[in-house]
């Protein structure tokens, strides 16, 4: 193991914390994001934490940029051992309010960005017999109301990861998928939705979450070490998923009530 990791969306939030967690073990980090200022900051923090590496601006919607990033990893680091497809954007709105553009934007970044990251880096990770870590969301498993485009994109990331898990076992490439619940992050900076009050509601959810992005990065580090495929960093997320596996209808009823609440709130405002 040469200890080289690539992280997309590394300019802030969970991407930055994942980079820092592995940097503390002395890893070489290849960092990308569309936010160059955040990216420079992360690289500086990585070096202070005991790691090293390089950063490169990369929009995950553009496959050629991801291929160039993979080439840079080969030239500068001699390859990659762990690929972290983390870049993502938040979104919300009831299905009848969401435009097809909202759908295209969400799928292009949150789903196809991960597909393209896997595709561009697969040759490197096969060569190193490394690992792929895809960041999905509890939304992929629970399908909360008022964010169908986000739910679908993230559920796609889970299905992609399951497909890769079984296809790449023979090649000795490990695959992991992470489903965090809401946590304190700047995901809302990229938030797009038809109604500003939805953004405020999600903001409240984020504030009430006691677990930080750094805590989640720690948990991911620990579970990847154990070889766990489906990584659910939140205790309440693990509980909810257990309930859904045994009694999906209970969750659907709960979510339908939540939908009513959300709708009456947005009408009230």
Nearest CA to 219 among 202, 232, 203? 232
From 63, 150, 219, 252, active-site residue: 150
Residue 188 has what pLDDT?
Answer: 44
Residue 229 has what pLDDT?
Answer: 98
Residue 262 has what pLDDT?
Answer: 87
Q: Output the CA–CA distances (angstroms, integers) from residue 80 to 1, 6, 16, 187, in the order listed.
A: 10, 7, 18, 27
| pLDDT bucket at 266, cuts 50 / 70 / 90 | confident
Residue with tokens 């992470």: 178
Residue 91 has what pLDDT?
Answer: 86
The residues pairing with 56 across neighbouring beta strands, listed in sequence order, are 32
Length in residues, the chain? 269
Residue 186 has what pLDDT?
Answer: 44
Nearest CA to 211 among 183, 231, 177, 175? 183
* Residue 150 known to be catalytic: yes
Q: Are strands 82-85 and 131-135 parallel, antiparallel or unpaired?
A: parallel
pTM here is 0.90
Q: Which domains does the chain have, with CATH numbers?
A: 4-235 (3.40.50.720)
| pLDDT bucket at 183, cuts 50 / 70 / 90 | very low
State the average pLDDT over residues 9-26.
97
81 by Cβ neighbours in 10 Å (0-12 / 13-18 / 19+) ranks as buried
Residues 126-143 pLDDT 10s: 999 999 999 999 999 999
| Pairwise CA distance, residues 86 & 181, whole Å | 14
Statement: residue 199 has pLDDT above 80: no
Whole-angstrom Cα Rg for the chain: 18
Angle at 254 between CA 253 and CA 256, to 5 degrees: 65
């Amino acid at each position: 193991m040469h200890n080289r990791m690539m992280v997309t969306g590394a300019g802030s939030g969970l991407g930055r914390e994942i980079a820092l967690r592995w940097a503390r073990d002395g890893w070489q980090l290849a960092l990308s994001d569309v936010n160059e200022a955040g990216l420079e900051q992360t690289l500086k923090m990585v070096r202070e934490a005991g790691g090293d590496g390089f950063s490169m601006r990369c929009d995950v919607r553009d496959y050629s940029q991801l291929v160039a990033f993979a080439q840079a990893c080969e030239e500068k680091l001699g390859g990659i051992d762990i690929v972290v497809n983390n870049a993502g954007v938040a979104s919300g709105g009831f299905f009848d309010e969401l435009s097809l553009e909202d759908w295209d934007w969400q799928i292009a970044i949150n789903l196809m960005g991960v597909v393209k990251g896997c595709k561009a880096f697969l040759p490197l990770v096969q060569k190193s017999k490394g690992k792929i870590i895809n960041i999905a969301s509890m939304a992929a498993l629970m399908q909360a109301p008022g964010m169908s485009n986000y739910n679908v994109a993230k559920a796609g990331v889970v299905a992609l990861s399951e497909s890769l898990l079984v296809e790449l076992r023979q090649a000795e490439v490990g695959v992991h998928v992470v489903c965090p619940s809401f946590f304190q992050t700047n995901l809302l900076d990229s938030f797009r939705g038809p109604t500003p009050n939805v953004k405020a509601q999600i903001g409240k959810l984020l504030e009430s979450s006691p677990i930080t992005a750094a805590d989640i990065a720690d948990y991911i580090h620990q579970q990847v070490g154990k070889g766990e495929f489906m990584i659910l960093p939140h205790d309440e997320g693990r509980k909810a998923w257990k309930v859904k596996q045994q009694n999906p209808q209970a969750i659907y009823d709960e979510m339908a009530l939540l939908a009513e609440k959300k709708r009456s709130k947005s009408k009230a405002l």
